[in-house]
Each structure stands twice: as structure tokens, then as C-alpha cells.
């Protein structure tokens, strides 16, 4: 993983929240929130919270006296999430690395993480930390994207950018968000961290956007893919975005577009 793969700064947090969240994240966030809330937790830790889409879905489902600690490695993402959420005395916002959590053992009933495990440089270490801070019998629930071929727009954008940069195609989407989808590997790594029961479910939804340009802008400018494009030339971003939009329009038309998105949802307990 390159250093730029983990950089969610500058204009990316706002664009990510305004464009990517409604495009692909909102439905999965509601699903993850339902799973986390189903055990009626009194204490929840969220890691890799991003701009807070799970937080906004989960907070209304928790008890009035619940404790909810929301963390992310990237302070700009966390700042945006806190601003969007508004005042809630149950929520504590804290910058934290999921691989070195600043919490005592056995503090939480649930640890949840939406589309963050793919970014962990050492996933087993991250899973060990999740297990360490869980109370006995606690649940670790998270999701990861399935292979890029099952996520239509991400695949289309990646293929389009390979035409723009044939000698050095940006591969962030395939390499990181869609690079951790081997169910056997996920189960093995969780068991290596001490989770004895691991359930994996594939979940498909439909991604919808008003235009192909919306899709291209979301992926090219609202994710760390932007860093890869700009590294190939600071003036290349808009042209790359336009090319991706044209490629999607050629495939699906110039109006509203719909494409499959698919993820793995994992629940792990001792």
C-alpha cells in the first residue's frame, strides 16, 4: 500500500461525504448499524469511521445512556464527521489508529468498522486490537468490498483511467478497496487473532447516480484515487474525470445510471 492510499485530506473528506456516501456507502452503513444495534450494546467502538455515515445511522439506534466512541486515523475525516453529527453527549470523537487502540481491555460490547480493514497495514494486528478491547462475548462486525469485477462503477472507472494513463494506470480502487475479498483469508486472519466464530455474508446492492459524470467525479475526486491521478500530473484530474464520465456514458447512457455493488459483511466473536 502506498502512502497516498491512506490520505483522506484537503477537499477529499467533503467530496467523499457528499458524493461517495450516497453513491455506495449509505445502504451498507444502515445494514452495519442494524447489526451492531441488534445486541443492544451499552458501549460501542467504531474504528475507521470516515465521515461518519455509520455513526449517523447507528447513534439513533442506541440507548440514551450508551457510550459510543468514534475513531478514525485521519483527523480531517473525523472533524467532518463530528460536524455533520452535531451534539450528542453519548459520542466521543477520538483520533486513533485501529492497530494501536488507546483503550483498556474489555471496554466495549461491539466494535464496528465500515470498509476500513482493507486499509490496515497489518490486519491481524488490527483484529487483535478489536478483540482486546471487546468484553467477553462481544462482537466485532465489519464489512469489506468484494472483488472489483462485482462492483461495476469502480471497475469501469479503473478501466477508463487505464486508457488515460496506459503506461502507469492508477490502480488504487483495485489494489486497496477491492483488494481484500478472499473469504478464506479473512476467516483465517480473524481466527489467528483469536476469534473462534466467524460468519461471512455476501451482500449486493444497487449503486445509483443521476449522471455518468457524477460517478466519475465521485471516484476520481472524492477518494485517494485523486492522489494517484494528480501524482501523474497536477493538471490531469479534470481530463481524467471527463474521460471516465464519457466511458460510463458510452456503456450506460447519459442519464441516470445504475450498477451493482457487492460487499462481504463479517461478524466475529470469541
Q: How far apart are CA 253 and CA 213, in angstroms?
A: 11
CB atoms within 10 A of CB 30: 16
Tell me how far apart the 2 most distant CA atoms of the chain are, in Å: 56
- pLDDT of res. 6: 43
Please tell me the total count of domains within the chain.
1
Q: What are phi and psi of 140, to 5 degrees?
A: -105, 115
- DSSP class of residue 103 equals S
Q: Cell triple for residue 73?
A: 486515523
pLDDT 10s digit of each residue in the chain, 270 long? Answer: 554 434 444 457 788 899 999 999 999 999 999 999 999 999 999 999 999 999 999 999 999 999 999 999 999 999 999 999 989 999 999 999 999 999 999 999 999 999 999 999 999 999 999 999 999 999 999 999 999 999 999 999 999 999 999 999 999 999 999 999 999 999 999 999 999 999 999 999 999 999 999 999 999 999 999 999 999 998 999 999 999 999 999 999 999 999 999 999 999 998
Q: Cell triple for residue 5?
A: 492510499
Instruction: Please report, for the domain that includes residue 191, its CATH number.
Output: 3.40.50.150
CB atoms within 10 A of CB 99: 18
Which one, of 265, 39, 43, lies nearest residue 134 by Cα? 43
Q: What is the pTM of this model?
A: 0.93
- pLDDT of res. 4: 42
Domain limits for position 156: 3-269
Q: Cell triple for residue 69?
A: 466512541
- pLDDT of res. 13: 79
| CB distance 85 to 68 below 8 Å | no
Amino acid at each position: 500500500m502506498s502512502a497516498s492510499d491512506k490520505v483522506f485530506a484537503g477537499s477529499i473528506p467533503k467530496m467523499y461525504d457528499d458524493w461517495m456516501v450516497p453513491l455506495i456507502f449509505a445502504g451498507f452503513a444502515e445494514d452495519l448499524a442494524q447489526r451492531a444495534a441488534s445486541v443492544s450494546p451499552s458501549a460501542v467502538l467504531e474504528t475507521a469511521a470516515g465521515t461518519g455515515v455509520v455513526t449517523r445511522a447507528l447513534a439513533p439506534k442506541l440507548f440514551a445512556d450508551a457510550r459510543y466512541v468514534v475513531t478514525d486515523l485521519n483527523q480531517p475525516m473525523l472533524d467532518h464527521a463530528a460536524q455533520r453529527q452535531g451534539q450528542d453527549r453519548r459520542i466521543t470523537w477520538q483520533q486513533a489508529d485501529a492497530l494501536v487502540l488507546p483503550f483498556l481491555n474489555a471496554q466495549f460490547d461491539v466494535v464496528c468498522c465500515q470498509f476500513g480493514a482493507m486499509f490496515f497495514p497489518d490486519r491481524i494486528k488490527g483484529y487483535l486490537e478489536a478483540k482486546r478491547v471487546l468484553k467477553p462475548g462481544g462482537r466485532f462486525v465489519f464489512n469489506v468490498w468484494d472483488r472489483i469485477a462485482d462492483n461495476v462503477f469502480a471497475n469501469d472507472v479503473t478501466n477508463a483511467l487505464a486508457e488515460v494513463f496506459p503506461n502507469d494506470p492508477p490502480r488504487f480502487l483495485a489494489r486497496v478497496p477491492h483488494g481484500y475479498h478472499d473469504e478464506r483469508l479473512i476467516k483465517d486472519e480473524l481466527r489467528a487473532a483469536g476469534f473462534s466464530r466467524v460468519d461471512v455474508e455476501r451482500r449486493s446492492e444497487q449503486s445509483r447516480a443521476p449522471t455518468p459524470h457524477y460517478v466519475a467525479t465521485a471516484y476520481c475526486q472524492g477518494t485517494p484515487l485523486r492522489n494517484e491521478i494528480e501524482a501523474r500530473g497536477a493538471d490531469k484530474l479534470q481530463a481524467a474525470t471527463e474521460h471516465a464520465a464519457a466511458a460510463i456514458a458510452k456503456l450506460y447512457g447519459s442519464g441516470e445510471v445504475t450498477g451493482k455493488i457487492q460487499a462481504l459483511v463479517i461478524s466475529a466473536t470469541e
